[in-house]
Amino acid sequence: MKKIIFEQVSNMILAILLACAAASTIAGSNINTDSSDYLVDIHFDKLWLVFILAAFIFTVLRYGYSKYLGKHDGYDAKNAEFSYQDEREKLISQHATKITYQFMTNILAASIIVLVFCNALTNSIFVLRLIPVILIAICLILMFFVYLVAWIVYDHKL
């Protein structure tokens, strides 16, 4: 179970950092479609550096975890959250994936509805540009969280 907690928590942290970096780029960028010269000024914030640094650190940690701490736990850096020690854990992983898939189909459908209403409720280009990033980030984080919870629940059940 420790390997799944380790993997999913690091995935969630990376997803949050990626969303923050993307949001900062959207907030800082300037796109001017009014003038005859189509002006696009994309601004990359320091948060991208933080995200890249965090991704590098987690890659090293994953490698270290697979070589030392997670070695007896069946953790494999390539398979990540789908790592399993034996057939029972493989079954748990399959159940958790199924639950996550079912959850994601609903949450993505709900996201489309949210996007439709956002378009109807605001005229702000800035907000409209930001909302898809926030929605996708929420979906991604929820997906990691649901997989983690489903894995823990099935681990106790089976």
Partner 1 sequence: MEVVNHVQYYRKQAGLTQENLAQLVNVSRKTINSLERGNYTPSLLLALQISKVLHLEINDIFSIEE
Q: Which is nearer to partner 1, 24 or 85 (CB)?
A: 85
Under DSSP, is residue 104 helix (H, G, I), strand (E, B) or coil?
helix
Q: Does 87 bind partner 1 (CB under 8 A)?
A: yes
Tell me: does residue 97 bind partner 1 (CB under 8 A): no
Q: Is the dihedral of CA 26, 29, 35, 38 positive or negative?
A: negative
Question: Does the protein bind partner 1 through residue 37 (CB under 8 A)?
Answer: no
The closest alpha carbon to 19, from 109, 135, 127, belongs to 135
- Taking the C-alpha atoms of residue 46 and residue 18, their distance in angstroms, rounded to an integer, is 12
Closer residue to partner 1, CB minimum distance, 34 or 87 = 87
CB 157, min distance to partner 1, A: 7
Contact segment (CB under 8 A) with partner 1 among 6-14, 111-119, 129-137, 150-158 equals 150-158
Strands (E), the chain: 30-32, 39-41
Chain residues in the site for partner 1 (CB under 8 A): 74, 85-89, 91, 155, 157-158
